Structure 1
Amino acid sequence: MKRITIDPSQSGPPTKEITYVPLERAEAKETKLHPRNAEGGENASLFFVGTATTILEWEGIRILTDPNFLHKGDHVHLGPGVTGTRQTNPAIDLEQLPRIDAILLSHYHADHFDQEVEAKLSKSIPIITTPHAHSCLTSKGDDSFTQVHAVDHWEDVLLDLHTNKIQGGRKPAIRVAGMPGKHVPPGPLSIANDLLSAVPPTNGWMVELGYQNAKEGDNFDSGYRIYITGDTLMVDELKEIPKRYTGRNIDLMLIHLGGTTIPGPKLPLLMVTMDANQGIQLMELVDPDLTVPIHYDDYDVFMSPLEDFKKAVEEAGWTEKVVYLDRKDEFKFKVNSQLNTIERAA
Structure 2
Amino acid sequence: MAAPEIKLTAQLTLDVADSRPPTKPEANAQAQVGPMPIPHEHKVHPTSPGGENATLTFIGTATTLFEWQGLRIMTDPNFLHAGDHVHLGPGVTAKRLTNPSVPLNQLPPIHLVLLSHYHEDHFDKLVEDRLRRDLPIITTPHAAHHLTAAQYKGEPFTALTALDTWEAADISAGDAKLRVTAMPGKHVAPGLTEMVNKALGAVPPTNGWMVELCGAGNTPYRIYISGDTLMVDKLRTIPRRFPHVDLMLVHLGGTTIPAPNIPLLMVTMDAEQGIQLVHLIKPDITIPIHYDDYDVFMSPLKDFQDLIKNAGLDQKVVYLNRGDQYLFKV
TM-score, normalised on structure 2?
A: 0.94
- How far off is 1:23 after superposition? 1.8
- How far off is 1:24 after superposition? 2.0
Picking from 235, 258, 262, the partner of 2:257 is: 262
Match of 1:86 in 2: 96
- How far off is 1:221 after superposition? 4.5
**1:298 partnered with 2:302:** no
Picking from 259, 268, 274, the partner of 1:273 is: 268
Match of 1:112 in 2: 122
Give the AA of the match of 1:151: L
The answer on whether the counterparts of 1:52 and 1:67 sit within 8 Å (CA) in structure 2 is yes
For the residue of structure 2 that corresponds to 1:143, the secondary structure is coil
Matches within 5 A, 1:1-346: 1=8, 2-16=10-24, 17=27, 18-38=29-49, 40-140=50-150, 142-161=154-173, 163=174, 171-211=175-215, 221-246=218-243, 249-335=244-330
The percentage of counterpart residues that share the same residue type is: 58
- How far off is 1:11 after superposition? 4.8
Segments of 5+ residues of structure 1 without an aligned counterpart are: 164-170, 213-219, 336-346
For the residue of structure 2 that corresponds to 1:282, the secondary structure is helix
Give the AA of the match of 1:281: Q
Give CA-to-partner distance per residue, 1:134-189, whole Å, 9 cap, x none: 0000001632100011011100001111x2xxxxxxx4211100000000011111
Give the AA of the match of 1:23: G
Q: Distance in 1 between matches of 2:70 and 2:37?
A: 13
Q: Distance in 2 between matches of 1:56 and 1:257?
A: 20
Q: Distance in 2 between matches of 1:274 and 1:15?
A: 32
Q: Distance in 2 between matches of 1:334 and 1:312?
A: 27
Cα gap change, 1:26/1:205 in structure 2, threshold over 3 Å: closer, same or farther? farther
Give the AA of the match of 1:112: H
Q: Distance in 2 between matches of 1:75 and 1:102?
A: 26
Aligned residues: 317
For the residue of structure 1 that corresponds to 2:220, the secondary structure is strand
Segments of 5+ residues of structure 2 without an aligned counterpart are: 1-7
Q: Distance in 1 between matches of 2:92 and 2:166?
A: 31
- How far off is 1:271 after superposition? 0.1
Q: Distance in 2 between matches of 1:299 and 1:322?
A: 23
The answer on whether the counterparts of 1:22 and 1:96 sit within 8 Å (CA) in structure 2 is yes
- How far off is 1:265 after superposition? 3.2
Q: Distance in 1 between matches of 2:277 and 2:224?
A: 11
- How far off is 1:274 after superposition? 0.2
TM-score, normalised on structure 1?
A: 0.89
